[in-house]
Structure 1
């Protein structure tokens, strides 16, 4: 068996301080965008999606850490675990592991959460927990899901916690501005008038567990992480190519032993090239699977923006919500669909699914970092 249990999720986002608040806001089509404050500099866009300070009362320079530790505690609670068990794996995803470094302090919330803070928040024994830092650009959290799943399937542990966060800071915001990816109006994935990304804040976490471990505790998972693929396409320095995305999705489905997918939660950030490449790849996938109807896809980034390294966390929460409730969320901000190839459709509004058994979650990043995850419904 290659599936592991998605035992619990945690998420604090601009739509609210819990996974449930994010899911309901996504179904309602809310766009949690506002004006950029607190970061010096002239940028192409002043539109951001920030977590309210009341939802994240963080000391200066520790906003990422507060978001991450809050999400980690949520995920453990959802998994029914009072603490991270001894012998567990902790995977931290972020831009950088710089700790107590003057360069990090000058850039405010650029530095990632300190492992010792996460271990304390999870009431974990540092001597009996393996800590790994992982960074694969904006696909980091999805790469971490695959890594943690392999770790569990190899028998190295029964439990893994993946955690990360995105917090607005001058360094990361400027890095998006300098490559001209920021939308001056707010991200609108798959829209004919899309013109770039919106940077968002948020913290996410999820607990993965071996099937035997979940059964031993009598815990019903939110879903099964049944397949994963992580492919680095070195032919593209920045944007992903359609054939690389298609191959990544196919490899994830092959890994899961699945020949049908009911919905794709797209990476789609709101850039013209990126959205088009993903749509072309999904259409090719649908053709290869022999789908009788266009394969539906949507993106959360029109609601909360792009959480950069942490962008896969809301994707997994959305996928779990789809499998649980059989509702495919729409894409907030999508008003006028850009032309799409045959075999795929972009959802503007939520749509009831006739079946909700398998979902693909895509996550792509600079330097050709591509990851696709297959989540499957947990019955019984």
Structure 2
């Protein structure tokens, strides 16, 4: 296993302004869906169960940068860093690069956050930092994690930051409306009555570090990013091909050298086709590993789909599972749809005796498929997330 340290996580979500707030809300089964109307200055992000594209705010650039910089500061603090070291890597995920220091009405909806805003949050000199922009549809943040891990393992540096944000806006909301994926009632992944996705907003960031660098400064990682696989399957226009999903998960586990998986944090957005395809793939994986049933759940029934930033809450959920041995449920899942043998969709949180490896799935339009393997550091952390009664 060639792993890098997941040194720190940051997340701003509709469940609250920190990773801990998201994790607590997820374990309690909270759904944050509501009406649009949160003040622009409030760092609590928003989820809207149903709204017309014309009612979404625009432009969204300033909102994205505010959310992303907040998440970046959290990730650095969790990593025990006051800023990025010289020679680090910054990976920004969004639909397109932010070409202007100040977002305008033409670019604000689908661009950014701007690297300059993140440099300020990192207290980092742009001249001494490598910057990469990645866009792989809704799998962007997971692709970025794999890219940053490869960059670190190649010896190009010791520290990498991945950051991104999704803010409700007319452009992205209309794109979901056009392909008829929006739920009029609110996403319910794996539910028999599921009828589509809910678009949410939020931001995430995480710091990756080589194992020697973490040891040298005495930092205990949140988890190990031990495996990753990114596969672009051009045979399907959407992320709903069971064979491609299975190939991606197997490749990630092989990369990690892991022969078991104790939890799958599913991409599951709440669409009938996508959820069924992922469940079929997980069930087949369970059969090949002789590990059945594999528990899985999704956060999208709690905070909606953060689009390009959707892998960030998935990583927080997987890290929480590894830290505390608690399997989060899927908020909104009331009547589980029939699933193949070998997979268990969790309706509520529960404890488990084994928490060694977790898979985080992230899929997107255009056949963009990514799976990440997080592995436990071992023992309880110095600063665990707040215990849930």
TM-score, normalization: structure 1? 0.93
**Cα distance, 1:61 vs structure 2:** 3.8
**Which residue is 2:51 aligned to?**
46
SS in 2 for 1:273: helix
- Please say if residues 62 and 109 of structure 1, whose CA atoms lie closer than 8 Å, have aligned partners that are also in contact: no
Aligned to 1:12: 12
Q: Which residue of 2 aligns with 1:198?
A: 198
**Partner residue, 1:51:** none
Q: Distance between the aligned counterparts of 1:210 and 1:9, measured in 2?
A: 16
Q: CA deviation at 1:44?
A: 10
Q: Are the aligned partners of 1:47 and 1:186 in contact in 2 as well (CA < 8 Å)? A: no
Corresponding residue number in structure 1 for 2:265:
265
Alignment of 1:1-380 (within 5 A): 1-36=1-36, 45-46=50-51, 61-100=61-100, 104-106=104-106, 108-291=108-291, 293-379=292-378
Cα distance between partner residues in 1 of 2:224 and 2:263: 15
- Provide the aligned C-alpha RMSD in A: 2.1
Take 2:90 and 2:123, find their aligned partners in 1: how far apart are those partners?
12
| Per-residue Cα deviation, 1:335-372 (whole angstroms, up to 9, x for no partner) | 00001001001000001111000000000000000000
The C-alpha deviation readout for 1:86-112, integer Å capped at 9, x for no partner, is 000000001111433999514644321
Report SS of the residue matched to 1:110. Answer: coil
1:22-81 per-residue CA deviation (whole Å, 9 max, x = no partner) reads 00000010000012459xxxx993299xxxxxxxxxx97400011111101100000000
Cα–Cα, structure 1 residues 130 and 103, in superposed 2: closer, same or farther, change >3 Å? closer
Bigger drift between 110-119 and 18-27 goes to 110-119
Q: Which sections of structure 1, spanning at least 5 residues, go unmatched?
A: 49-58
Contact 1:92 1:163 in 2 (8 A): yes
Runs of 5+ unmatched residues, structure 2: 39-47, 54-58, 380-389
Structure 1 residues 77, 185: CA separation in 2 closer, same or farther (over 3 Å shift)?
A: same
2-structure distance, mates of 1:60, 1:265: 28
Per the alignment, in what secondary structure is the counterpart of residue 200 of structure 1?
A: coil
In 2, Cα distance between equivalents of 1:44 and 1:122: 34
Partner of 2:385: none
Verify the 8 A CA contact 1:140 1:310 in the aligned structure 2: yes
- Determine the C-alpha separation between the residues in 1 that align with 2:225 and 2:206: 11
Instruction: Describe the SS at the equivalent of 2:32.
Output: coil
Answer whether contact 2:33 2:49 (CA < 8 A) is retained. Answer: no
Distance 1:137 1:26, change over 3 A: same
Identify if the C-alpha distance between structure 1 residues 176 and 160 changes in structure 2 by more than 3 Å, giving closer, same or farther.
Answer: same
**CA distance, structure 1, for counterparts of residue 147 and residue 61 of structure 2:** 29
CA deviation string 1:192-237 (max 9, x = no partner): 0000000010010000000000000100000000000000010001
**Conserved? CA contact 1:7–1:208, under 8 Å:** yes
Q: Give the count of matched residue pairs.
A: 367
Looking at structure 2, the residues matched to 130 and 102 of structure 1 have their Cα atoms a distance apart, in angstroms, of 21
Instruction: Indicate how the Cα distance of structure 1 residues 60 and 242 shifts in structure 2: closer, same or farther if over 3 A, else same.
Output: closer
* TM-score, normalised with respect to structure 2: 0.91
Within 2, Cα distance between the matches of 1:79 and 1:19? 13
